[in-house]
Amino acid sequence: MLRMSARLIQGLQNVDDALRGGVVTVGNFDGVHRGHQSILQTARALADASDAAVAAVTFDPPPDGVLRPGHVVQRLTPHRVRCEHLAVAGADAVVAIRAEPRVLNMLPEDFIVEVLVARFAPRHVVEGCNFRFGRDRGGDVETLARFGSRHGFDVHVVEPVMVEIDGTPVRVSSTRIRRLVADGRIEQANSCLGRAFTLYGTVRAGAGHGRLLKFPTCNIDPVEQVVPADGVYAAVAIVDGARHAAAVSIGNKPTLGPAPRREVEAFLLDADGDYYDRELALALYARLRDQRRFDGAEQLSAQIAKDVARVRDICEQRV
């Protein structure tokens, strides 16, 4: 949920005077991971010290898809959810700039003057040490600091958040998390995110195989999100405000298929009825096993029962 005072502002033209003279942070913020959260915490502390507002400025659609036509963009979080996470992390307002070539190809100094200074007149700008912006990513935190001294804002650089993966300290980044998710390494991805990686979609009709196996499933197509590697996962499903432990299967149904496309389907424990056309969120907590082909429906059904028992053990404290 958005903070009580948080607002979503679509377009720079709708930025009002309430956000002038405050704290600004700019970025794609895909996933709003622990590194982003650290930036927002710093911004929040600066704003609270001067009774000012925090504006998180982001872009929609994703800039990569605009600058590289035909490039398939796979996000960690849909735009709406990203805005919610930014608000929870500390933003008073999330300003979504329409990502179009004119904006994305601005010279760094023009972006500072025409966007940051003209629209926000900030006292403080907070970014990570690897922040890049402007045409060809030519601007960095040193560029910000140089122009800040001319235009009356201070630049605060937040060090990256490090986590340990496979015994090695690594920097948290959206790129790293997308790679971990795509590899099915959900626990490591969650460690970087600071929360469970979650898939979102509308429930649609499937082939009905789950119902025949006595494990009816909800099928979703996550739009523009990176989908984890094929396998079976322990998750919590959120639908109509209710939470249910869920066994999630991702893949091409090697026993009953092969399906023409990868399917994301969830069996909701202790849930009745169907959820067609309802919004479903699947928060993934653990990868249980690979997809594999079984010798018929009976063997598959027995394995699903084992999977469900493990899901209950993993998720019973989370519902």
Residues 206 and 155 in one domain: no
**pLDDT tens, 236-263?**
999 999 999 999 999 987 777 676 789 9
Give domain status of residue 242, yes or no: yes
One domain for residues 17 and 156: yes
Confidence at residue 208, expressed as pLDDT on a 0 to 100 scale: 58
The band of 302, judged by pLDDT with boundaries at 50, 70 and 90, is very high
Closest CA to 285 of 310, 304, 260, 305: 310
Q: Is residue 189 part of a domain?
A: no
Give the pLDDT confidence of 212-235 residue by residue, as tens digits: 556 889 999 998 899 999 999 999
Task: From 162, 186, 217, give the residue that closes a domain.
Answer: 162
Mean pLDDT of 153-174: 97
pLDDT given for residue 220 in this prediction: 96
- Do 38 and 150 fall into the same domain? yes
d(CA 37, CA 23): 15
Q: What is the pLDDT of residues 17-65, one digit of tens each?
A: 999 999 999 999 999 999 999 999 999 999 999 999 999 999 998 888 8
Q: Would residue 241 count as lying in a domain?
A: yes
**Contact in structure between 75 and 225 (CB atoms under 8 Å):** yes
Answer whether residue 210 shows pLDDT above 60.
no
Same domain, yes or no, for 146 and 230? Answer: no
CATH no. for residue 306?
Answer: 2.40.30.30
pLDDT of 134 reads 94
Q: How many domains does the chain have?
A: 2
State whether 70 and 212 are in the same domain.
Answer: no
- Same domain for 156 and 204, yes or no, is no
- What is the separation of C-alpha 66 from the centre of its chain, rounded to a whole number of angstroms? 19
- The residue to which tokens 């003057």 are assigned: 113
Better-scored residue on pLDDT, 167 or 293: 167
169 domain residue, yes or no: no
User: Are 11 and 155 found together in one domain?
Assistant: yes
Instruction: At 44, list the tokens.
Output: 């929040």
- Ranking 58-62, 123-127, 173-177, 285-289 by mean pLDDT, the lowest is 58-62
Mean pLDDT of 280-293: 96
The last residue of one of the domains, among 162, 187, 221, is 162
> Rounded distance, CA 264 to CA 182, Å?
14
Ramachandran region, residue 4 (left: φ > 0; alpha: ψ -120 to 50; beta: rest): alpha
Last residue of a domain, one of 117, 137, 162: 162
**11 and 130 share a domain?**
yes
27 plus 127 within the same structural domain? yes
The structure tokens listed for 158 are: 């937040």
CATH number at residue 23: 3.40.50.620
Q: Judge if 123 and 53 occupy the same domain.
A: yes
Structure tokens at 233: 């996962």
* Helices 174-182 and 186-193: angle between axes, nearest 10 degrees: 160
What average pLDDT does the segment 123-142 reach?
A: 96
Q: Taking residues 186-204, what's their average pLDDT?
A: 97
Residues 148 and 15 in one domain: yes
Domain that holds residue 49: 7-162
**CB contact at 8 A, 129 and 159:** yes
Q: What is the pLDDT of residue 3?
A: 46
Q: Would you place residue 115 in the very low, low, confident or very high pLDDT band (cuts 50, 70, 90)?
A: very high
Going by C-alpha positions, the residue among 217, 198, 231 that lies closest to residue 271 is 217
In a domain, 218, yes or no: yes
* Predicted model pTM: 0.93
Mean pLDDT of the chain: 92
Q: What is the CA radius of gyration of the chain?
A: 22
Q: Is residue 178 part of a domain?
A: no
